Structure 1
């Protein structure tokens, strides 16, 4: 971002303790390593603009100036809102650690984004074809991962954190989500059965330790977030090679979660239940899926066809 001049050494000298506190706070919050990295990058960019000002003397104007410079640098509404979320978390961490008494970022409004933007997702038939492209030595493990994304709505980080004991005998899966909040998903019998078979095989390969991760690498260690993303991305690329209509779509592991939400809405699941299934803190986040396509609207309007007067 243009206009930033403080070096990493200068930032560390001036704000090193605050950055360390923030890093510790994020880990205690259970944030994924990718979120930590993104938030720290935003905060360092902000501090570089502030340098050498004391954080005690910062206010809403400093936040707005930073977001304005981000806009001038080409950041869109979504990117600026992400940066604001980073700063809110940063100041909150310093509040909770008794480092600062105020949070100017909490008083700064988010950018107004385009409402009801339709997420990218796969149709049910496309999902069926996707699972035919799961291959390799660890096919059952990889299939389980993709099914948890597409038919249970799990995030990559949630899959990474799963342990063997999180799947109960009755098929309930305990999921540790964002903000270290638990949710409990009653899995379909076939999916729960697949997970049990996969875990029985894993027990033979797993290295001994305190933890018993549900998904392990070929070395017997917990499967990393990056590897889970790679498994999904590689399988999606193979599907795109077969289906020309998907070739221009930006597909990723998170799009499988979108697909799960789409299927739930089409099946008539109410918005509150979907919020619980997805682990959203705010129902506003879930409401985007009520506008995901016009299936329901078309069906509702077709009911009017028999009520129209003669227009001949």
Structure 2
């Protein structure tokens, strides 16, 4: 049986016109198809990796993939940092680049993988912004009865903090996945993975009030009737941008000036659990992290808070 030729070998024997057609952009698109078809990543993750790859292709210019060294990649990460890209975004670029060069190896386009030696992700991390328990409490009561959709908005904020779910998970929450009698909900996370997350009584009460008083009205504004829990004013499922704007509006209302997003409530959820003595593995399970190293960043958050308290109040600090 004939041995399968790699794409690199086929390109080397192809006419010049065919070689020219195989641009860095086309390889980028093939890589995204690989993430979708072979790795089964979530569409939001693929979109983020796509943005990273667009930056990489622009930086690459006329250079060939096989010419890139680890020093080149380190310089690329430094350029992103100098351009003001958020540390968390630079950190994700490290992951994207590693995956991309692994893909190039699998396809036979490169022999070596310089991204394996790329500086560790922790060099680009920063401790996520976390709200205090008092700030969270104030934010949860920010929606007023004079607001048009206050029942929905209060329920949204309660669920974000009570569960630590991602914005996309809350927006995608289905009515059939609410289990008030068992005090939990089932959400669908990255890669289509589902998990059960406990739901406290304040959140249950807020969601039940929203369902009883408002959701039916919103659902009646579109056909067919939507299965999602949280709906927009037109009756369609609420999207992440709308949720982000709602959180921004209510943080401004209560005077929280720091940069707060729906993800800030996820950070606060994890940090407050660990501060209360929760086991790291349990928090990992509730957050839906595949790797416990991702969860461990919240231990750094808690340690930094304790250090601040120590420095402020201990006489020998």
Q: TM-score, normalised by structure 1?
A: 0.74
1:154, distance to aligned residue in structure 2 (A): 1.3
Q: 1:183–1:279: 8 Å Cα contact kept in structure 2?
A: yes
Instruction: Give secondary structure in 2 for the equivalent of 1:294.
Output: helix
Match of 1:268 among 277, 294, 304: 277
Whole-angstrom CA distance in 1 between matches of 2:233 and 2:223: 14
Deviations 1:176-214 (A, max 9, x none): 123332221121234234324433542443233486111
Aligned partner of 1:229 among 236, 239, 244 = 244
- Counterpart secondary structure, 1:250: coil
CA distance in 2, matches of 1:12, 1:166: 48
| Cα deviation code 1:82-123 (max 9, x no counterpart) | 322232344456678x585775434423254388x6533222
Superposed displacement of residue 268, structure 1: 1.6
Indicate the residue corresponding to 1:85 in structure 2: 95
1:199 aligns with 211
| Match for residue 40 of structure 1 among 40, 50, 57 | 50
Paired with 1:88 and 1:161, the residues of 2 have a C-alpha distance of 30
**Equivalent residue for 2:118?**
108
* Distance of 1:158 and 1:181 partners within structure 2: 11
Work out which of the residue numbers 300, 303, 306 in structure 2 matches 1:294: 306
What is the aligned counterpart of 2:170 among 156, 159, 177? 159
RMSD across aligned C-alpha pairs, in angstroms?
3.6
Give me the TM-score of the superposition, normalised by structure 2: 0.73
1:124 corresponds to which of 127, 133, 147? 133
Q: How many pairs align?
A: 281
The answer to whether residue 143 in structure 2 is matched with residue 143 in structure 1 is: no
Change in 2 beyond 3 A, CA 1:89/1:147: farther
* Aligned partner of 2:29 among 17, 20, 25: 20
What are the ranges of 5 or more consecutive residues in structure 1 without an aligned counterpart?
1-10, 241-245, 303-312
Instruction: Give the Cα–Cα distance (whole angstroms) in 1 for the partners of residues 170 and 21 of structure 2.
Output: 34
Pick the aligned partner of 1:29 from 34, 41, 47.
41
The 1:199–1:89 alpha-carbon spacing in structure 2 relative to 1, beyond 3 Å, is: farther
